[in-house]
Amino acid sequence: METEEKASLKSYLDNVFGDEGLRTDLTITMTDETLQKTSLYLVGTGLVITLIVFGIRGIVRNMETN
């Protein structure tokens, strides 16, 4: 199995910014592994945000009853 070299930040920025400014014709290629990781991060972030909201809501209700 061939290993791909990781691109540096400069190469990513060179692909985004051209001579005429910001490029709008970007192509993003996602492998199955990257897609799975991205999906899990998004689901995890949603769960964390939900837990934080319920936690804050519970704290506020306890403060109101005291």
17 domain residue, yes or no: no
Task: For residue 8, name the pLDDT band (cuts at 50, 70, 90).
Answer: confident
How many angstroms separate the CA atoms of 12 and 4, rounded? 15
13 domain residue, yes or no: no
10 domain residue, yes or no: no
Neighbours of 64 (CB within 10 A): 7
40 domain residue, yes or no: yes
pLDDT digits (tens, 9 = 90+) for 9-61: 777 777 777 777 777 776 778 899 989 999 999 999 999 999 999 999 999 99
4 domain residue, yes or no: no
42 domain residue, yes or no: yes
Domain count, the chain: 1
How many angstroms separate the CA atoms of 33 and 36, rounded? 5
pTM of the model: 0.53
Unique residue bearing structure tokens 């769960």: 47
1 domain residue, yes or no: no
Domain range for residue 60?
Answer: 30-66
Predicted local distance difference test score (pLDDT) of residue 14: 75
